[in-house]
Amino acid sequence: MPIINMKKIKISHEVPFCLLEKSREFNDYDYCLPHLMDENEEYRDFFYKSKEMGRYIVMDNSLHELGEAYNTKRLIYWINEIKPDEFIIPDVWENAKASIKNAEEWARIELPEGVLRVAVVQAKHIWEAKDCVQAYKNLGYQKIAFSYGASYYNELCPHPNKDLGKAIGRYMVVNKLYNNKTLTMFDRVHLLGTASPIEFGMYKNIECIESVDTSNPIMAAIGEMPYTKMGLYMKPIANMNKYQDMSIDFLNEDLVEYNVEMFRKINGL
C-alpha cells in the first residue's frame, strides 16, 4: 500500500494591499515581504495586527521581488520587531555556493527565540540541489525551501509549455531527492511560488511538503483568467510588483474567491 500524505499543507496567497484583510479568510498563514514593511504603512499595520492576533507569519527575504535579498540590517530589524514564526534566510539566485555561504553566516546570527530559519535551495543542476540540501541539513536547518523558477527545471522537463515544464521539473527534483533519501518524511519543505497551479497535486505522497506560497490564483483573477479543472495553461502575465497598489474597484473579488477555491480543489488540498 502506498503511503498517503495526510499532513495538511499550509497555503498562503500573496495579495494586493486592498485584499490584505480579506486574505486572512483564505490564507493559512501570512507571508511577509520585509521591503514592503519599510515602504507601506498599511502593509506594516497588517502584520502588526497579525502578530497581535497570533497568526502564523512567514517572513521572506524579498529576493524574488528585488532581484537580491533585502538589506541585512533591515532584515534583522524586522525579524526582531515582528518575530515571525519562520524566516527565509537570504539566498542568491541559481547560485548554490553563495547560498550555502549565506546559510553558514545566518546560522551564526542570533535571532529571537521561536524564529525558525528556512534555507532556499539554489542550483543550476540537480546534483547541486542535492549538495545544497545536504549542506543545509549539516548546518542544522530544520526547514528547506525550493524556488519555482530555476532554469534547470526546464532542462529536466523540456515540455513545449515552459511554465508547465518548470512545475514538473521542480516536482522531479523534489521527488528524486525524496526517493534517494536526501529528503525524508521527517524533513520539512516549503515550495516557493509556482509556474503552474496544478503542480501541487503531484506531491501527495511526498510527506515532507509542509507549506506553499503562491500568488497564482490572485494574479489570474487580476488578469480576468478563471481557473479551469486543469488550472491554467500559462502562468498569468500580471506581476504582483505592479499591482500591489491597485484599487479594489478594479478587482473582480468573485473571481478571486473562485480561483482560490479552485486552486485547492485542483490539487486536492
pLDDT tens for each residue of 79-100: 999 999 999 999 999 999 999 9
Question: Phi, psi at residue 210, to the nearest 5°?
Answer: -110, -35
Closest CA to 9 of 257, 194, 242: 194
5 falls within a domain = no
Asked if residue 127 belongs to a domain, the reply is yes
CATH code of residue 221: 3.20.20.105
Q: What is the pLDDT of residues 157-208, one digit of tens each?
A: 999 999 999 999 999 999 999 999 999 999 999 999 999 999 999 998 999 9
Q: Are 111 and 77 in contact (CB under 8 A)?
A: no
- 160 within domain boundaries: yes
Q: Of the segments 6-10, 173-177, 246-250, which one has the largest average pLDDT value?
A: 173-177
190: in domain: yes
Contact 195, 167 (CB under 8 A): yes
In a domain, residue 171? The reply is yes
pTM of this structure: 0.94
Beta strands 116-121 and 10-12 are unpaired
Eight-class DSSP state of 202:
G
Query: Could you tell me the three cell numbers for 146?
Result: 525550493
3 belongs to a structural domain:
no
| Containing structural domain, residue 164 | 10-267
Whether residue 160 contacts residue 226, with contact meaning beta carbons closer than 8 Å, is answered with no
Ramachandran sector of residue 189 (left: φ over 0; alpha: ψ -120 to 50; beta: rest): beta
236 secondary structure, DSSP code: -
What's the length of the chain?
269
Report the domain count for the chain.
1
On whether residue 58 sits in a domain, the answer given is: yes
Strand 86-88, strand 116-121: pairing: parallel
Residue 15 lies in a domain: yes
